[in-house]
Structure 1
């Protein structure tokens, strides 16, 4: 990446940080692009040089989280089974959300409650599934004697994502309950 790309990335990160604070405090619909631009110290026009919309801003952050999960999954021992490797890969995001609960909890509520974000949530789920399923497939044993499409990686990844989303939803609504414990319980109930 060039210096210009790094600078652009830093500005995008700063805009996103300011936006997430506003979104956590006010909700998606109530937060305007003008407010985000003002909080980031720029004009509305400058905001649009970095993001096409509030939806894109939200989706970009969610996709980045998926990239972190994928990196963590790649870093797991090659002989680790898929299900525990997925649980371990989620841990970085779990720790980030728990460390920044004052922002993460309201954002989780917002992602579930605001009708305008339903499509964004679904797009995130699809992107994460497409990103993680091939990595999960590498961890699965061969299927001797079986023919037809191998859907195991999609099924495992989709199940793990559903567990993660269920845990995040419960955590957002129940302060004082650790997200890690909720995720462990959800994944144990499906994987055990």
Structure 2
């Protein structure tokens, strides 16, 4: 990569970060649905056309990290020895790629906004499906499933269940006002999924 290309990349990353910062500030102050793209563009001192060079939708501002987290999760999972069982490997990967990098109160507001906004929830589910596509191949290896066999549902079922448990843990974390331990909530959700239900 040339010096000019590196400079352009850094400049683009800086603008992306600035738009994200401005938009998140507006979302948290006045609400996601009440904030318009035109308002974000005006506050960030860019044109509406420039906004769409960086983001396809408003939802992508809030959930853009989910896409990059999916790639990071895949790489993290692949770095875990194949001898580690699927559920344990996924748990370790989720813990290493910890999304709670912001202050707890700010993260709580963002999570609350996501779970209460239908368009954000829909976009979140879409990105989690992308996670599933990225993680399933490694889980198939751990299970010893032939990569060319499309009929075995085990890996897809495990990954989709693990992601669903992560989502449930996030919702419960929001309900507790961020006081509960997110990792513990995830573990309890997984335990509920993996524990056979006894018939009475």
Q: TM-score, normalised by structure 1?
A: 0.83
Tell whether 2:115 aligns with 1:133: no
CA distance in 2, matches of 1:20, 1:71: 28
Q: Which runs of 4+ in 1 moved over 4 A?
A: none
Alpha-carbon contact 2:145-2:152 (below 8 Å) kept: no
Tell me how far 1:69 sits from its aligned partner. Answer: 1.8
Partner of 1:100: 103
Counterpart of 1:42 in 2: which secondary structure? coil
Counterpart of 2:143 in 1: which secondary structure? coil
Counterpart of 2:142 in 1: which secondary structure? coil
Specify which structure has the bigger relative contact order, considering alpha-carbon pairs within 8 angstroms and separated by 6 or more residues. 1
CA distance in 1, matches of 2:83, 2:91: 15
CA distance in 2, matches of 1:148, 1:66: 22
Tell me how far 1:106 sits from its aligned partner. Answer: 1.9
Partner of 1:80: 84
Alpha-carbon contact 1:76-1:85 (below 8 Å) kept: yes
Over 3 Å counting, the alpha-carbon distance change for 1:98 and 1:9 in structure 2 is closer
Query: Superposed, which structure 2 residues align to 1:7-156 within 5 Å?
Result: 7-94=11-98, 96-97=99-100, 99-142=102-145, 149-156=151-158
- For residue 161 of structure 1, the aligned residue among 157, 163, 183 is 163
Over 3 Å counting, the alpha-carbon distance change for 1:189 and 1:99 in structure 2 is farther
Over 3 Å counting, the alpha-carbon distance change for 1:187 and 1:17 in structure 2 is farther
> Which of 62-71 and 152-161 deviates more?
62-71
Tell me how far 1:161 sits from its aligned partner. Answer: 0.4
Over 3 Å counting, the alpha-carbon distance change for 1:20 and 1:64 in structure 2 is farther
Counterpart of 1:149 in 2: which secondary structure? coil
CA distance in 2, matches of 1:21, 1:65: 22
Q: Compute the RMSD of aligned alpha carbons.
A: 2.5
Q: Which has the larger radius of gyration?
A: 2
CA distance in 1, matches of 2:141, 2:19: 37
Alpha-carbon contact 1:83-1:156 (below 8 Å) kept: yes
Counterpart of 1:138 in 2: which secondary structure? helix
Tell me how far 1:104 sits from its aligned partner. Answer: 1.9
Structure 2: segments with no counterpart, 5+ residues: 196-200
